[in-house]
Amino acid sequence: MGSLGETIALRLNNPVQTGIEITSIVKKDKWNIIWKRNGELKEENFDALVTTTPAHSLPLLPFDKKISLSLKQLAPIPYTPVSILIYGFKRDHIQHPLDGYGILVPEKENMNILGTLFTSSVFPSHSPEGHVLLTTFIGGARQSDLVTSPLDHQNLLVINDLNQLLGIKGDPVYFKQFHWLNAIPQFNIGHNRYLEMIKKIESDNPTLYISGNYCTGVAVGKCLLAGLSTAEKIKQNISS
Ligand SMILES: Cc1cc2nc3c(=O)[nH]c(=O)nc-3n(C[C@H](O)[C@H](O)[C@H](O)COP(=O)(O)OP(=O)(O)OC[C@H]3O[C@@H](n4cnc5c(N)ncnc54)[C@H](O)[C@@H]3O)c2cc1C
């Protein structure tokens, strides 16, 4: 995920600035933005402004009161938590050939894991010779409480499920866990009202564009297409 963003950034003519704190966003003729970098304030005007933070972060952005209030309407979009457990095993300790992308587990299977990516089958360089890397997801909308349960408990449930599905003969030689409390936006019944709000906010504030996975879909491919479509809209609006 990191290399994708870094590669896109390298191909742009203007350097992308990260690690800055935006302190003010005001719509004048253009978008006047003030930001802080290493304690030093900078100011510049921009033709267009795109927000790509998660919906729950929108009210934190330093817009004027009117726009902040509009954006606050999107903050209740629900996000589910996800915990990922990453295991490295010796290749011969897994019976399954791991000849695919991974597994998705439907609810009716009554398992604890949501799915497992065969990470080293997709990216062979992610594990040393003779080893495999498996990335397992738990929590989500189905069992959100698991995400904050003790790590030993998560580990036990996951290894048990992986054993049933893949046949594990030995202990992992590598382990890491991460979790996100607000990981994945949910397109629940009624999500359309948020999409209508986004349309209204954008039409009330021409040259403000709202983008991100809660608008068009969570898959990375969808996010990329949405980004391209936003860029295309901006190009057309600016040239007209
Ligand atoms: C655990 C997990 C596994 C996934 N696996 C897959 C997969 O296998 N395949 C797939 O297609 N998709 C997968 N997804 C979904 C996909 O990764 C995301 O939907 C997608 O990356 C979201 O892109 P985005 O640009 O909308 O948001 P993000 O990538 O979340 O970017 C939002 C950015 O906003 C920044 N931000 C937040 N608050 C503020 C603030 N107040 N001020 C400034 N910046 C802020 C964040 O730091 C972040 O950089 C997965 C998601 C998760 C959580």
pLDDT of residue 18: 87
Q: Which atom of ligand 1 is nearest to the CA of 53?
A: 34
pLDDT of residue 239: 85
186 CA → ligand 1 middle, Å: 13
pLDDT of residue 191: 98
Q: Residue 152: CB partners within 8 Å, gap ≥ 6?
A: none
Strand 49-51 and strand 208-210: the pairing is parallel
Distances (CA, A) of 222 to 84, 115, 143, 162, 219: 22, 20, 25, 29, 5
pLDDT along the chain (240 residues), means of 10: 89 88 95 95 96 96 96 97 98 98 96 98 96 98 96 97 97 97 97 98 96 95 94 91
pLDDT of residue 223: 94
d(CA 217, CA 215): 6
218 CA → ligand 1 middle, Å: 8
d(CA 99, CA 102): 8
Nearest CA to ligand 1 atom 36: 53
Nearest CA to ligand 1 atom 44: 53
d(CA 119, CA 53): 27
- Spatial contact of 25 and 63, defined as CB atoms under 8 Å apart: yes
Q: Which atom of ligand 1 is nearest to the CA of 178?
A: 1
- Spatial contact of 183 and 142, defined as CB atoms under 8 Å apart: no
Domains of the chain: 2-77+187-239 (3.50.50.60), 79-185 (3.90.660.20)
Q: Ligand 1: residues whose CB is within 6 Å?
A: 52-54, 57, 60, 82, 84, 180, 183-184, 212-213, 218-220, 223
